[in-house]
Amino acid sequence: MKKSFYLLLLSFCVYSFTIAQLSSDSKMILDDLQDSLIKVGEVMVNDTSTGKRVDALHKFIPLMTKALKVDGSFYYNFDSLQTISHLFAPDSSFKIMTWQLYLGKGIYRYYGTIQMKGEKLKMFPLFDTSDTMDYHNQTTLNKDSWYGVLYYKILKNYSQGKYYYTLLGYDAGDLFCDRKIIDVLWFQEGYPMFGAPLFKYKYPDGKVEIKNRIFIDYKFDALASLGYDTVQKLIIYDHTGPTDSIELGLTFSYVPDGTYEGFKFESGYWNWIEKVFTFAINENDHPPLPKPLFDKTKDERF
Protein backbone atom coordinates (compact mmCIF):
# COMPACT_ATOMS: atom_id res chain seq x y z
CA MET A 1 0.00 0.00 0.00
CA LYS A 2 2.79 2.40 0.99
CA LYS A 3 4.68 1.61 -2.23
CA SER A 4 1.56 2.30 -4.30
CA PHE A 5 1.07 5.62 -2.51
CA TYR A 6 4.63 6.73 -3.26
CA LEU A 7 4.30 5.72 -6.90
CA LEU A 8 1.08 7.70 -7.16
CA LEU A 9 2.72 10.70 -5.50
CA LEU A 10 5.71 10.47 -7.85
CA SER A 11 3.43 10.30 -10.88
CA PHE A 12 1.54 13.37 -9.67
CA CYS A 13 4.78 15.30 -9.15
CA VAL A 14 6.07 14.41 -12.63
CA TYR A 15 2.72 15.38 -14.16
CA SER A 16 2.66 18.68 -12.24
CA PHE A 17 6.22 19.46 -13.32
CA THR A 18 5.34 18.80 -16.98
CA ILE A 19 2.30 21.04 -16.84
CA ALA A 20 4.35 23.76 -15.18
CA GLN A 21 6.63 23.89 -18.19
CA LEU A 22 3.73 24.75 -20.50
CA SER A 23 1.92 27.99 -19.67
CA SER A 24 -1.76 28.45 -20.46
CA ASP A 25 -0.85 31.02 -23.12
CA SER A 26 1.56 28.63 -24.81
CA LYS A 27 -0.96 25.81 -24.67
CA MET A 28 -3.60 28.01 -26.31
CA ILE A 29 -1.20 28.93 -29.13
CA LEU A 30 -0.16 25.31 -29.61
CA ASP A 31 -3.77 24.11 -29.62
CA ASP A 32 -4.51 26.53 -32.45
CA LEU A 33 -1.41 25.49 -34.38
CA GLN A 34 -2.25 21.84 -33.85
CA ASP A 35 -5.71 22.45 -35.37
CA SER A 36 -4.02 23.90 -38.45
CA LEU A 37 -1.52 21.03 -38.60
CA ILE A 38 -4.37 18.51 -38.43
CA LYS A 39 -6.10 20.04 -41.45
CA VAL A 40 -2.92 20.34 -43.52
CA GLY A 41 -1.68 16.93 -42.38
CA GLU A 42 -4.84 15.20 -43.57
CA VAL A 43 -4.25 16.55 -47.08
CA MET A 44 -0.53 15.74 -46.91
CA VAL A 45 -1.16 12.08 -46.11
CA ASN A 46 -4.56 11.21 -47.57
CA ASP A 47 -5.31 13.35 -50.63
CA THR A 48 -5.36 11.38 -53.87
CA SER A 49 -3.57 14.19 -55.75
CA THR A 50 0.22 14.07 -55.56
CA GLY A 51 0.41 17.81 -56.21
CA LYS A 52 -1.93 18.59 -53.31
CA ARG A 53 -0.01 16.29 -50.98
CA VAL A 54 3.28 18.01 -51.87
CA ASP A 55 1.74 21.48 -51.47
CA ALA A 56 0.40 20.44 -48.08
CA LEU A 57 3.87 19.27 -47.03
CA HIS A 58 5.26 22.70 -47.91
CA LYS A 59 2.69 24.22 -45.55
CA PHE A 60 3.07 21.56 -42.87
CA ILE A 61 6.80 21.99 -42.24
CA PRO A 62 6.70 25.78 -41.54
CA LEU A 63 3.64 25.25 -39.31
CA MET A 64 5.42 22.56 -37.32
CA THR A 65 8.53 24.75 -37.03
CA LYS A 66 6.38 27.61 -35.78
CA ALA A 67 4.78 25.31 -33.20
CA LEU A 68 8.12 24.07 -31.92
CA LYS A 69 9.31 27.67 -31.44
CA VAL A 70 6.55 28.27 -28.89
CA ASP A 71 7.84 28.33 -25.30
CA GLY A 72 7.35 24.97 -23.64
CA SER A 73 6.54 23.15 -26.89
CA PHE A 74 8.74 20.24 -25.84
CA TYR A 75 6.07 19.29 -23.29
CA TYR A 76 3.22 19.47 -25.77
CA ASN A 77 2.13 16.02 -26.92
CA PHE A 78 0.33 16.83 -30.20
CA ASP A 79 -2.12 14.11 -29.15
CA SER A 80 -4.72 15.00 -31.75
CA LEU A 81 -2.26 15.18 -34.65
CA GLN A 82 -2.56 11.69 -36.13
CA THR A 83 -0.52 12.30 -39.29
CA ILE A 84 2.85 12.17 -37.51
CA SER A 85 4.57 9.72 -35.21
CA HIS A 86 5.54 11.55 -32.01
CA LEU A 87 7.84 9.75 -29.55
CA PHE A 88 9.51 10.86 -26.32
CA ALA A 89 12.84 9.29 -25.37
CA PRO A 90 12.50 6.99 -22.33
CA ASP A 91 14.56 9.49 -20.31
CA SER A 92 12.67 12.50 -21.76
CA SER A 93 15.93 14.04 -22.96
CA PHE A 94 14.50 14.56 -26.46
CA LYS A 95 11.55 13.72 -28.64
CA ILE A 96 11.47 12.63 -32.25
CA MET A 97 8.72 13.29 -34.79
CA THR A 98 8.52 11.57 -38.17
CA TRP A 99 6.02 11.59 -41.01
CA GLN A 100 5.54 10.26 -44.51
CA LEU A 101 4.84 11.72 -47.95
CA TYR A 102 3.66 9.50 -50.80
CA LEU A 103 4.91 10.68 -54.20
CA GLY A 104 3.20 8.08 -56.39
CA LYS A 105 4.29 4.85 -58.11
CA GLY A 106 5.47 3.30 -54.86
CA ILE A 107 7.79 6.20 -53.99
CA TYR A 108 7.72 7.43 -50.39
CA ARG A 109 9.72 10.16 -48.71
CA TYR A 110 10.16 10.60 -44.97
CA TYR A 111 10.55 13.75 -42.91
CA GLY A 112 11.31 14.31 -39.27
CA THR A 113 12.92 16.33 -36.55
CA ILE A 114 14.52 15.75 -33.17
CA GLN A 115 13.70 18.32 -30.48
CA MET A 116 15.99 18.40 -27.45
CA LYS A 117 14.68 19.11 -23.98
CA GLY A 118 15.54 22.61 -22.81
CA GLU A 119 14.31 26.14 -22.20
CA LYS A 120 15.40 27.28 -25.67
CA LEU A 121 14.50 25.51 -28.89
CA LYS A 122 17.18 23.10 -30.07
CA MET A 123 16.09 20.91 -32.93
CA PHE A 124 17.66 18.80 -35.64
CA PRO A 125 15.66 18.45 -38.88
CA LEU A 126 16.19 15.05 -40.50
CA PHE A 127 16.81 14.75 -44.24
CA ASP A 128 15.90 11.47 -45.91
CA THR A 129 18.62 10.42 -48.35
CA SER A 130 17.80 6.71 -48.39
CA ASP A 131 17.18 6.73 -52.16
CA THR A 132 20.90 7.42 -52.71
CA MET A 133 22.16 4.78 -50.27
CA ASP A 134 23.46 1.28 -50.85
CA TYR A 135 21.02 -1.58 -50.33
CA HIS A 136 20.71 -2.34 -46.60
CA ASN A 137 23.13 0.47 -45.75
CA GLN A 138 25.29 -0.27 -42.70
CA THR A 139 27.23 2.98 -42.37
CA THR A 140 26.91 5.48 -39.55
CA LEU A 141 24.60 8.30 -40.66
CA ASN A 142 23.68 11.75 -39.37
CA LYS A 143 20.78 14.20 -39.57
CA ASP A 144 21.76 15.20 -43.11
CA SER A 145 22.05 11.61 -44.34
CA TRP A 146 19.17 9.95 -42.54
CA TYR A 147 17.61 6.64 -43.61
CA GLY A 148 14.01 7.88 -43.58
CA VAL A 149 11.68 5.80 -41.43
CA LEU A 150 8.41 6.24 -39.59
CA TYR A 151 9.37 5.38 -36.00
CA TYR A 152 6.87 3.85 -33.59
CA LYS A 153 8.97 2.60 -30.65
CA ILE A 154 12.06 3.85 -28.84
CA LEU A 155 14.20 2.03 -26.25
CA LYS A 156 17.19 3.17 -24.19
CA ASN A 157 20.34 1.07 -23.76
CA TYR A 158 23.80 1.55 -22.28
CA SER A 159 26.91 0.17 -23.93
CA GLN A 160 30.62 0.92 -23.63
CA GLY A 161 30.14 4.11 -21.63
CA LYS A 162 27.45 5.60 -23.88
CA TYR A 163 23.66 5.73 -24.03
CA TYR A 164 22.00 4.50 -27.20
CA TYR A 165 18.37 4.72 -28.28
CA THR A 166 17.09 1.78 -30.30
CA LEU A 167 14.37 2.74 -32.77
CA LEU A 168 11.78 0.47 -34.35
CA GLY A 169 10.33 1.81 -37.57
CA TYR A 170 8.47 1.20 -40.80
CA ASP A 171 9.51 2.04 -44.36
CA ALA A 172 6.91 1.67 -47.11
CA GLY A 173 9.80 0.74 -49.39
CA ASP A 174 9.16 0.71 -53.11
CA LEU A 175 6.84 -0.79 -55.71
CA PHE A 176 7.26 -4.35 -54.50
CA CYS A 177 8.82 -4.38 -51.04
CA ASP A 178 7.99 -3.03 -47.58
CA ARG A 179 10.35 -3.21 -44.64
CA LYS A 180 10.68 -2.83 -40.91
CA ILE A 181 13.91 -1.34 -39.62
CA ILE A 182 15.73 -1.45 -36.29
CA ASP A 183 18.12 1.48 -36.06
CA VAL A 184 20.15 3.13 -33.32
CA LEU A 185 20.23 6.83 -32.42
CA TRP A 186 23.06 8.27 -30.36
CA PHE A 187 24.66 11.64 -29.81
CA GLN A 188 28.20 12.70 -30.66
CA GLU A 189 29.19 16.04 -29.16
CA GLY A 190 25.49 16.87 -28.93
CA TYR A 191 24.63 15.95 -32.52
CA PRO A 192 22.44 12.99 -33.50
CA MET A 193 23.98 10.01 -35.24
CA PHE A 194 22.25 6.92 -36.62
CA GLY A 195 23.58 3.39 -36.70
CA ALA A 196 25.94 1.66 -34.26
CA PRO A 197 27.62 -1.78 -34.11
CA LEU A 198 25.24 -3.16 -31.50
CA PHE A 199 23.51 -6.02 -33.35
CA LYS A 200 25.47 -9.22 -32.87
CA TYR A 201 24.80 -12.43 -34.75
CA LYS A 202 26.61 -15.43 -33.27
CA TYR A 203 26.17 -18.56 -35.35
CA PRO A 204 26.48 -22.21 -34.22
CA ASP A 205 29.82 -22.54 -36.05
CA GLY A 206 31.24 -19.70 -33.92
CA LYS A 207 31.14 -17.06 -36.63
CA VAL A 208 30.22 -13.58 -35.34
CA GLU A 209 28.67 -10.86 -37.47
CA ILE A 210 27.93 -7.36 -36.18
CA LYS A 211 25.61 -4.88 -37.89
CA ASN A 212 24.76 -1.20 -37.43
CA ARG A 213 21.07 -1.60 -38.23
CA ILE A 214 18.62 -4.34 -39.13
CA PHE A 215 16.36 -4.55 -42.19
CA ILE A 216 13.37 -6.89 -42.36
CA ASP A 217 12.12 -6.96 -45.94
CA TYR A 218 8.87 -8.53 -47.10
CA LYS A 219 6.38 -8.49 -49.96
CA PHE A 220 4.41 -5.23 -50.07
CA ASP A 221 1.03 -6.86 -49.42
CA ALA A 222 2.26 -9.14 -46.61
CA LEU A 223 2.15 -8.30 -42.90
CA ALA A 224 5.34 -8.68 -40.85
CA SER A 225 5.49 -7.67 -37.19
CA LEU A 226 8.31 -5.99 -35.27
CA GLY A 227 7.86 -5.11 -31.62
CA TYR A 228 9.31 -5.15 -28.12
CA ASP A 229 8.11 -7.47 -25.38
CA THR A 230 8.66 -5.84 -21.98
CA VAL A 231 8.07 -9.11 -20.12
CA GLN A 232 10.69 -11.11 -21.99
CA LYS A 233 12.74 -7.95 -22.72
CA LEU A 234 13.11 -8.97 -26.33
CA ILE A 235 12.83 -7.32 -29.69
CA ILE A 236 10.70 -9.85 -31.60
CA TYR A 237 9.97 -9.93 -35.31
CA ASP A 238 8.62 -12.20 -38.02
CA HIS A 239 11.15 -14.29 -39.86
CA THR A 240 10.50 -13.72 -43.54
CA GLY A 241 11.56 -15.85 -46.48
CA PRO A 242 10.69 -16.94 -50.02
CA THR A 243 7.81 -19.29 -50.75
CA ASP A 244 9.97 -21.02 -53.35
CA SER A 245 13.72 -21.68 -53.24
CA ILE A 246 14.09 -20.11 -56.70
CA GLU A 247 13.20 -16.74 -55.07
CA LEU A 248 15.96 -16.94 -52.45
CA GLY A 249 17.56 -13.49 -52.15
CA LEU A 250 14.64 -11.74 -53.85
CA THR A 251 13.40 -10.05 -50.68
CA PHE A 252 10.50 -8.35 -52.45
CA SER A 253 8.90 -11.80 -52.58
CA TYR A 254 9.47 -12.69 -48.91
CA VAL A 255 6.58 -13.37 -46.54
CA PRO A 256 6.43 -14.36 -42.84
CA ASP A 257 6.80 -18.11 -42.42
CA GLY A 258 5.24 -18.42 -38.95
CA THR A 259 8.51 -18.39 -36.99
CA TYR A 260 10.01 -15.51 -35.03
CA GLU A 261 13.48 -14.13 -34.51
CA GLY A 262 14.58 -11.72 -31.82
CA PHE A 263 17.28 -9.69 -30.12
CA LYS A 264 18.04 -9.57 -26.41
CA PHE A 265 20.21 -6.81 -24.95
CA GLU A 266 23.05 -8.33 -22.93
CA SER A 267 26.70 -7.40 -22.37
CA GLY A 268 26.35 -4.21 -24.40
CA TYR A 269 24.89 -5.80 -27.53
CA TRP A 270 21.58 -6.73 -29.04
CA ASN A 271 22.28 -10.46 -29.30
CA TRP A 272 20.43 -12.36 -32.01
CA ILE A 273 18.05 -15.18 -31.10
CA GLU A 274 17.42 -17.39 -34.10
CA LYS A 275 14.05 -18.71 -32.95
CA VAL A 276 11.74 -17.16 -30.39
CA PHE A 277 9.14 -19.68 -29.34
CA THR A 278 7.06 -17.41 -27.09
CA PHE A 279 5.95 -14.17 -28.64
CA ALA A 280 2.85 -12.86 -26.84
CA ILE A 281 3.54 -9.14 -27.06
CA ASN A 282 1.51 -6.73 -24.98
CA GLU A 283 -0.44 -4.41 -27.31
CA ASN A 284 0.87 -1.37 -25.44
CA ASP A 285 4.43 -2.45 -26.19
CA HIS A 286 3.77 -3.50 -29.77
CA PRO A 287 1.28 -1.02 -31.21
CA PRO A 288 -0.05 -1.31 -34.75
CA LEU A 289 1.68 0.67 -37.46
CA PRO A 290 1.42 4.42 -36.92
CA LYS A 291 -1.57 6.10 -38.52
CA PRO A 292 0.30 8.57 -40.76
CA LEU A 293 0.42 6.14 -43.66
CA PHE A 294 -0.91 6.61 -47.16
CA ASP A 295 -3.80 4.23 -47.83
CA LYS A 296 -2.26 1.55 -50.03
CA THR A 297 -5.52 0.88 -51.79
CA LYS A 298 -4.84 4.23 -53.50
CA ASP A 299 -1.28 3.30 -54.41
CA GLU A 300 -0.89 2.93 -58.18
CA ARG A 301 1.83 0.28 -57.82
CA PHE A 302 1.14 -1.42 -61.10
Higher local confidence (pLDDT), 205 or 123: 123
Query: Which has more confidence, 122 or 285?
Result: 122
Q: At 9, is the pLDDT very low, low, confident or very high (cuts 50, 70, 90)?
A: very low
How confident is the model over 16-34, as pLDDT tens digits? 344 447 889 999 999 999 9
pLDDT for the residue 302: 40
Q: pLDDT above 90 covers what percent of the chain?
A: 68
User: Are the C-beta atoms of residues 197 and 214 closer than 8 Å to each other?
Assistant: no
Rounded to two decimals, the pTM is 0.86
Average pLDDT for 194-220? 93
Q: Name the average pLDDT for the chain.
A: 87
Is 60 exceeded by the pLDDT of residue 1? no
Among 184, 153, 166, which Cα is nearest to 85's?
153
Segment among 131-140, 157-166, 177-186, 244-253 with least mean pLDDT: 244-253
Once rounded to an integer, what is the mean pLDDT over residues 232-248?
87
pLDDT at position 7 is: 38
pLDDT at 22: 82
Instruction: Give the side-chain half-sphere CA count within 13 A for 182.
Output: 28
- How sure is the predictor about 294, in pLDDT bands with cuts at 50, 70 and 90? low
Q: How far is CA 115 from CA 98, 119, 149, 273, in A?
A: 11, 11, 17, 34
Domain locations along the chain = 130-298
d(CA 130, CA 60): 22
The reported pLDDT for the residue numbered 15 is 40
